[in-house]
Structure 1
Amino acid sequence: MADPLTDDFADGPAPTPATVRFEVSGELPADAARDLGAVYGGERWVARVTETPFEYRYTAIGDAELTVRRSQLRGALSGVVPAGGDYVVTWIGSGTAEVERLGERLVLPLGAPALFPPDHEYAFLVTDHDQRMVHLDRAFVHRVAATRSTVGDHSLRFDDQHVPEPEAARRWQGALTALVRSLRAGGTESVAWQQAKVVVAELFLELFPPMVDDLPGVLGQPRNARLRAAVEYVHDHAAEPVTIADLSAASGLSVRSVQESFRRVFDVSPLTYLRQVRLDRVRAELLDADPLAGAVGDVARRWGFAHLGRFSAAYVERFGEYPKQTLRR
């Protein structure tokens, strides 16, 4: 994949208060683990020397809604990135990079766009790499998505193992070229940058088509606006540990009001609703899985079901068949 993102921003427009612009660099592994881990709020980041003298450089420029970034490393770096940050599209120009999430390992392809797991904690290992990235703020992407008739204001989920179509990747590259040109020409407050940024977000949704959850229509009523925020949180974080306190924080409702609202609208507790969403996700994966390669237990654990016996009973109660029967369809 050709590379439209270059380093020569130094002669461009001066930063404005709205601009995100920073660089970290050095030659010590301990400094790299500290500096780069701080960028992502990561944990257990470790850097080490490989066959060449160690050095690193990480740059970012853009605004709070979208930044273009480059990470260069002579050495190896590993660590854990928490769930819930920006949507991050990356491509590797040289070296190696791999991620592991929910027990699944993925080697990132050279020269092709890939999506970092957006909704799960993941571990990574990169070695002697030159990596380009585009960070897109979630709220910004969701606002752009809300204008699409196929997405509307539904909750969004993305398949980080989706392989983009070559034509979509080509348009993505062209949009990034225009984005960087607008940044050089007018800075982040220019109309050209704002327009180019929206085009990139639209092409992100084309590059990695969102899997949309149909939320109950009753949530469209004004009186249920805060409950909707709690329900959207459930759908967005179904694979993660979710508590009533999380739903309270997401919706602005008290813990008691969250419980009462779920009872009033859905006649179930919040955690029962969460379990139903998780069961639906498991069923969707089983219907799409290869019966010869699929493992029901792995899928169930991926969606938060630690006790497989109780999971199987709940699955039968919801769908009228055992998980293995769904897998064989």
Structure 2
Amino acid sequence: MTTIDDTAPDRAADDDRSTVRLEAAGGSPAAAVVDLSGLYAGRHWAARSTGRPFSYRYTAVGDADVTLRRSQISGSIRGLIPVSDDYVVQWLTAGNGIPDVVHDRVPMVDDVPMLFPTAREFVFAYEDYDQRLVHMSRRLVHEVADELFHTGPVPDLGIDHLRTLDPAAVTRWRNSLSLLSRELRVGGVESLLWHTLTRETAAAFLRMYPPTVTALPPAVLLPRRARLRAAVEHVHAHAAEPLTVADVAGAAGLSVRATQEAFQRHIGMTPLRYLQHVRLERVRQELLQADPTTVSVQAIARAWGFAHLGRFSAAYRNAYGEYPRNTLRR
């Protein structure tokens, strides 16, 4: 049995502060696969009994930006979860599980948060467990990341989902969730406090898992350089596309000459050199997340516009102190 309840269906489409409620429960492995895989657009899911009656229950409540969830299964379940628009932090209060049995193979430790992989698909396996999850929208997390770390409009924050967590950051995270849960019961998702607390929760998450992407240059953050910031943000947002200086200038409402001069004066490099710098960072992010058995340095470099592997490797080593092949093998 699965139910979905949006308690404010008449709100405008661009207002994300309507309540989202999800519930799925039952006693059949086949039903669990249908219900739960549907919540994650999952593929190749399978569930089975572990010697006692099989049962499952899954609940979620929140809004489009943050939902607090709980998943319980008496039995085992395994499946593939594709790349998601959500950042998902989860922890177990009972049972056992491995979020990624193909690449990471790192088992869960009770009550210790772990982030699902953020930029690739993964295959999980859990058994006889009680799991808590917090889903946060990419829009919210990236917006708060820009406020805290000046990351700009990037498609991925380069978060290391297996990083060792700072205990103080975990405590702040738990405190933020406690306040958020209380407000969910008292004021609901339409309150101003809920809106404030969801942003504080995203900030607490980013203190546990800080972005590793290159921040916007400090020189562009001054209010009087808003046009230069617009040009730099355009580079970050469209680094995977063919870009010319004219494209960057047009996005900022500047002439080509003014754009070139502003980049050189305040950033210390030309617009196209800065574009290469951003693309090099994107290559590094992909190398850190890629499977070295199926992906090559050359393929990733070419995808980001680097045709000459020798020159690319030299530039990469100058930037990061290691060759790209060493990054891929981590």
With the length of structure 2 as denominator, give the TM-score of the two structures. 0.70
State whether residues 175 and 199 of structure 1, in contact with CA within 8 Å, keep that contact through their aligned partners in structure 2.
Answer: yes
State whether residues 88 and 115 of structure 2, in contact with CA within 8 Å, keep that contact through their aligned partners in structure 1.
Answer: yes
Residue 238 of structure 2 corresponds to residue 230 of structure 1: yes
Cα deviation, residue 273, structure 1: 9.3
Structure-2 separation of matches of 1:180 and 1:96: 25
Q: 2:311 aligns with which of 292, 314, 317?
A: 317
Aligned to 1:173: 174
State whether residues 72 and 131 of structure 1, in contact with CA within 8 Å, keep that contact through their aligned partners in structure 2.
Answer: yes
Aligned to 2:126: 126
Aligned to 1:259: 242
Aligned to 1:241: none
Structure-1 separation of matches of 2:98 and 2:174: 22
Between the aligned residues of both structures, percent identity stands at 33
Structure-2 separation of matches of 1:59 and 1:21: 7
Structure-1 separation of matches of 2:298 and 2:125: 25
Q: How do residues 47-126 of structure 1 correspond to structure 2 at under 5 angstroms?
A: 47-100=47-100, 103-126=103-126
Q: Which runs of 5+ in 2 are unaligned?
A: 1-5, 10-17, 221-225, 249-270, 302-306
Q: 1:172 to 1:321 in 2, by over 3 A?
A: closer
Q: 1:74 to 1:206 in 2, by over 3 A?
A: same
Equivalent residue letter for 1:97:
G
Aligned to 1:153: 152
Cα deviation, residue 299, structure 1: 8.3
Cα deviation, residue 111, structure 1: 0.9
2:203 partner SS: helix
State whether residues 73 and 130 of structure 2, in contact with CA within 8 Å, keep that contact through their aligned partners in structure 1.
Answer: yes
Structure-2 separation of matches of 1:191 and 1:212: 31
Cα deviation, residue 153, structure 1: 2.1
Q: 1:76 to 1:277 in 2, by over 3 A?
A: same
Equivalent residue letter for 1:146:
D
Structure-2 separation of matches of 1:110 and 1:145: 28
State whether residues 169 and 207 of structure 1, in contact with CA within 8 Å, keep that contact through their aligned partners in structure 2.
Answer: yes
State whether residues 154 and 214 of structure 1, in contact with CA within 8 Å, keep that contact through their aligned partners in structure 2.
Answer: no
State whether residues 101 and 117 of structure 1, in contact with CA within 8 Å, keep that contact through their aligned partners in structure 2.
Answer: no
State whether residues 92 and 110 of structure 1, in contact with CA within 8 Å, keep that contact through their aligned partners in structure 2.
Answer: yes
With the length of structure 1 as denominator, give the TM-score of the two structures. 0.70
Residue 215 of structure 2 corresponds to residue 210 of structure 1: no
Superposed CA RMSD in Å reads 3.8
Structure-1 separation of matches of 2:66 and 2:322: 44
Equivalent residue letter for 2:54:
F
The answer to which structure, 1 or 2, has the higher relative contact order (CA under 8 A, 6+ apart) is: 1
State whether residues 81 and 122 of structure 2, in contact with CA within 8 Å, keep that contact through their aligned partners in structure 1.
Answer: yes
2:139 partner SS: helix
> What is the number of equivalent residue pairs in this alignment?
273
Structure-2 separation of matches of 1:48 and 1:262: 57
Q: 1:27 to 1:152 in 2, by over 3 A?
A: same
Q: Is the deviation greater in 81-90 or in 93-102?
A: 93-102
Q: 1:46 to 1:314 in 2, by over 3 A?
A: farther
1:104 partner SS: coil
Cα deviation, residue 199, structure 1: 1.2
Equivalent residue letter for 1:210:
P
Question: For 1:132-155, what per-residue CA distance to the aligned partner results, in whole angstroms no more than 9, with x for missing partners?
Answer: 00000010111112221x334253
Q: 1:177 to 1:282 in 2, by over 3 A?
A: closer
